[in-house]
């Protein structure tokens, strides 16, 4: 019987040739090139002709287009093989548009890819153990690809989502001697009827509590990603990274948060191609754009948007790659005390506009207009447009683009753009508060982070301070914690304590399963969460993450016992906070006495890295700790690593003697 796996039974397959005529024409070589150029440059042209490029046009300047493209689309857009997520599903179209523009202008474009995973897809799974570590790996791959094309004159980076986009930004930032430009992959659209991509990730928890039917869950889950491409509709890590990339001057003005697949989105790629040619012509390199002043502007814009707390990690990593001082927690706190949040977007509210609506309201340049009027920006910085920030804002303020898109938001959605992006005065009148706070205390002696602006206002006291005292409910894995929520074992007033989920325990996984469930369950606003893990950018509520030191590094958070009383105080006005163990229900103590008790307590016997933690992530955790840990951007500081290894080898030799 014929075996279709071993043989397709197609006789035409056996017509195999060993030779081909080869490309027509000749390479535009010169005697000087043959005498002086490396053989790799010459053979590169041979390969270019072999791939079909017109040999006569090989003398154009070469530009590399890197992207996180994933999946395989038919010409009409239908899937042949799915990507990991919508964020990279359509970015190949951006690469194509930019490449066609470069080719039309006489340049020679190259394209390379390193696809990225989806944090939404890996929530609550062991896939999350590779998430943050992947960012470092991808940045390394991108940098290696850039160096592996020695003839490139500049680099265009196209990326969209939570880890691929920060990785691309790190790679471009580290390519300081070349002109580079970032093309953000944009956002997906809201469904005309249904739930956004953040809320829909809670259908399991809501079904378990009887808040949604099976039929409603199935329908909502089907519709939430209403268009095939782009990052999620909320101001999570993907959207915040797009915003920060533009604020740094790495992207063209009004490029972040564009609707994927739209003509205005493709036009951005074409204009970015023109921009990279102009940057190369004028000798403007990445190091001329990424400066300490540009970094300052990024922190300011992040605060004004109310962005994801994950950018505390990523922006430090981008600064490190650019050889700039890394922002510290004190820098973030200082900026957030100075800068009001003026954007009303998902998930922060109060009206929860989608990111595409923020784009139509004016996006990053509109926010920057308000910040410039307030004297908060450094406008002399250069941007990839070839203009200073001040010059681009002057253009934006009187542009037809601004007027037409803001009017489109009014006409299409009935939304006043000034209700999406507000003046500081209007934002204050509507109750918007500054973005992030960095609580310390006897449970977080080295600090922690909370998006204080996203605490439900109904549980905040009239003086703007969130105060909570509650019993600790301690878990060492996220699945155990979410199971307790679904079984109804977590009650209003409880303080969830999730430990062993920092870099050493789980690769510093995201815990959006928990934070989203608490947000969308009726009693969730009355439950707080403490963890040495991190949060999805769409997380909200009284959720304190990045607690340092982590439990497995000897942090006092690893000594908390079931039922211990935890006191949380978050001042949303002064952006100050504390998180302390204060004894038990039977015997309350001061934070100072609590610190003494914790110091004398033994560690919990169940502290351990996750048994499924991959070796690659264990290695990443060890190396990033040497480089400064989460507060330092989870980067590999090569000099420090080498120095530490040398010291370790010396100690080992002494021990052998």
Query: Taking Cα atoms as reference points, which of 256, 435, 228, 236 lies closest to residue 332?
Result: 435
Contact 531, 636 (CB under 8 A): no
Alpha-carbon distance of 22 to 494, in angstroms, equals 73
**379 and 473, same domain (yes or no):** no
Sign of CA dihedral 325, 331, 335, 341: positive
Locate 233 and state its tokens. Answer: 């509709």
* DSSP-assigned letters across all residues of 102-118: HHHTT-EEEEEE-----
- Answer yes or no: do 109 and 253 share one domain: yes
* pTM, to two decimals: 0.96
What CATH number is associated with residue 523? 3.50.30.80
- Rounded to 10 degrees, what is the CA torsion of 173, 175, 176, 182? -50
- For this structure, is 458 an active site residue? no
Quote the tokens at residue 9. 């039974």
Q: Same structural domain for residues 416 and 481?
A: no
Same domain (yes/no): 360, 459: no
Q: How far apart are CA 186 and CA 191, in angstroms?
A: 16
> Average pLDDT per run of 10 along the chain, which is 657 residues long?
88 96 96 97 98 96 98 96 98 98 98 96 94 98 98 98 97 98 98 93 91 96 96 96 98 98 98 98 98 98 96 98 96 95 94 97 98 98 98 98 98 98 96 91 96 91 96 97 94 97 96 86 93 84 94 97 98 95 97 98 96 97 95 96 95 85
Q: Is residue 4 part of a domain?
A: no
Pair of tokens at residue 484: 């307790």
Omega before 347 within 30 of 0, i.e. cis: yes
Query: What does the H/E/C string look like for 63-74?
Result: EEEEECCCCEEC
Residue 198 shares a structural domain with residue 310: no
| Structural domain span for residue 480 | 447-600
- The answer to whether position 430 is within a domain reads no
Separation CA 141–CA 128 (nearest Å): 20
Contacts of 490 (CB under 8 A, 6+ apart): 473, 484, 496, 527
Same domain, 476 and 587: yes
Q: Are 181 and 298 found together in one domain?
A: yes
Residue at 7 is within a domain: no
Cβ atoms of 200 and 224 within 8 Å: the answer is yes
Is there a contact between 460 and 568 (Cβ–Cβ < 8 Å)?
Answer: no
Which of 175, 208, 226 corresponds to the end of one domain? 226
Same domain? For 586 and 646 the reply is no
In a domain, residue 17? The reply is: no
Indicate which residue of 251, 434, 536, 548 is catalytic. 536
Does 83 map to a domain? yes
Q: Report yes or no on 22 lying in a domain.
A: no
Residues 141 and 257 in one domain: yes
| Alpha-helical runs (H) found in 306-417 | 311-321, 329-338, 355-360, 363-373, 389-397, 400-413
Question: How far is the C-alpha of 550 from the C-alpha of 443, rounded, in Å?
Answer: 10
Same-domain status, 634 and 535:
no
Q: What number of H helices and E strands is found in the chain?
A: 26, 13
Residue 114 covered by a domain: yes
Q: What are the residues whose beta carbons fall under 8 Å from the beta carbon of 462, sequence distance 6 or more?
A: none
Based on the structure, what is the number of domains in the chain?
A: 4
Question: Domain boundary residue among 575, 600, 625?
Answer: 600
User: Does a structural domain hold residue 148?
Assistant: yes
Whether the CB-CB separation of 318 and 173 falls below 8 Å is answered with yes
Q: Are residues 275 and 417 in the same domain?
A: yes
Residues 350, 453 within the same domain: no
- Quick one: pLDDT at residue 517? 84
φ, ψ (nearest 5 deg) of residue 513: -50, -45
Structure tokens belonging to residue 632: 């330092």
Separation CA 172–CA 178 (nearest Å): 9
Torsion of CA 455, 459, 461, 465, to 10 degrees: -30
């Amino acid at each position: 019987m014929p075996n279709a796996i071993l043989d397709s039974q197609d006789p035409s397959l056996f017509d195999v040739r060993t030779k081909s005529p080869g490309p027509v024409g000749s390479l535009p070589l010169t005697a000087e090139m043959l005498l002086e150029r490396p053989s790799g440059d010459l053979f590169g042209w041979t390969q270019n002709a072999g791939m079909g490029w017109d040999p006569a046009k090989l003398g154009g300047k070469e530009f590399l287009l890197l992207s996180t493209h994933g999946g395989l689309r038919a010409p009409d857009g239908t899937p042949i093989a799915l990507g990991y997520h919508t964020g990279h599903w359509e970015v190949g179209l951006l690469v194509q548009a930019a490449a066609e523009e470069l080719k039309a202008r006489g340049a020679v474009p190259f394209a390379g890819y390193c696809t990225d995973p989806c944090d939404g897809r890996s929530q609550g799974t062991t896939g999350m153990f590779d998430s943050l570590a992947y960012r470092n790996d991808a940045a390394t791959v991108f940098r290696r690809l850039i160096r592996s094309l020695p003839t490139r004159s500049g680099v265009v980076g196209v990326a969209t989502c939570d880890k691929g986009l920060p990785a691309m930004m790190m790679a471009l930032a580290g390519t300081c001697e070349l002109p580079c430009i970032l093309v953000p992959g944009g956002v997906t659209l809201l469904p005309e009827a249904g739930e956004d991509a953040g809320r829909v990730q809670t259908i399991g928890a809501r079904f378990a509590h009887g808040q949604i039917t099976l039929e409603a869950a199935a329908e909502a889950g089907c519709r939430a990603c209403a268009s095939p491409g782009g990052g999620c509709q909320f101001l999570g890590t993907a959207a915040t990274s797009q915003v920060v990339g533009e604020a740094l001057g790495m992207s063209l003005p009004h490029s972040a948060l564009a609707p994927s697949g739209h003509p205005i989105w493709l036009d951005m790629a074409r204009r970015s191609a023109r921009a990279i040619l102009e940057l190369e012509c004028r000798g403007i390199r990445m190091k001329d754009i990424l400066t300490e002043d540009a970094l300052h502007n990024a922190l300011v814009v992040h605060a004004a948007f109310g962005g994801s707390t994950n950018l505390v990690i990523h922006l430090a990593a981008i600064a490190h790659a650019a050889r700039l001082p890394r922002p510290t927690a004190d820098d973030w706190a200082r900026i957030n005390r100075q800068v009001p949040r003026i954007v009303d977007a998902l998930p922060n509210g109060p009206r929860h506009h989608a990111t595409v609506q923020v784009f139509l309201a004016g996006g990053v340049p509109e926010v920057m207009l308000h910040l410039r009027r307030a004297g908060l920006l450094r406008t002399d910085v250069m941007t990839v447009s070839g203009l200073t920030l001040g010059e681009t804002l002057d253009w934006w303020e009187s542009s037809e683009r601004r007027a037409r898109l803001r009017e489109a938001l009014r006409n299409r959605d009935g939304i006043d753009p000034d209700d999406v992006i507000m003046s500081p005065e209007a934002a204050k009148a509507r109750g918007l508060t500054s973005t992030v706070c960095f609580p310390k205390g006897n449970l977080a002696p080295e600090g922690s982070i909370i998006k204080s602006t996203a605490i439900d206002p109904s549980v905040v006291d009239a003086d703007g301070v969130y105060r909570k005292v509650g019993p600790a409910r301690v878990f060492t894995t996220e699945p155990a914690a979410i199971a307790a929520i679904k079984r109804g074992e977590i009650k209003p007033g409880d303080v969830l304590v999730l430990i062993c989920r920092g870099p050493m325990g789980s690769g510093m996984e995201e815990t959006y399963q928990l934070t989203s469930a608490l947000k969308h369950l009726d009693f969730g606003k009355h439950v707080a969460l403490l963890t040495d893990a991190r949060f999805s950018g769409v997380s909200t509520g009284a959720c304190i993450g990045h607690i340092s030191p982590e439990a497995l590094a000897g942090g006092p958070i690893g000594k908390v016992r079931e039922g211990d009383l935890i006191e949380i105080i978050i001042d949303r006005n002064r952006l100050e906070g504390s998180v302390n163990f204060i004894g038990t229900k039977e015997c309350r103590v001061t934070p100072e006495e609590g610190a003494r008790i914790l110091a004398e307590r033994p560690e919990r016997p169940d502290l351990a890295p996750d048994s499924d933690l991959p070796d690659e992530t264990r290695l990443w955790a060890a190396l990033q700790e040497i480089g400064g840990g989460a507060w330092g951007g989870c980067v590999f500081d090569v000099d420090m690593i080498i120095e530490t290894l040398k010291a370790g080898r010396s100690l080992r030799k002494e021990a052998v003697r």
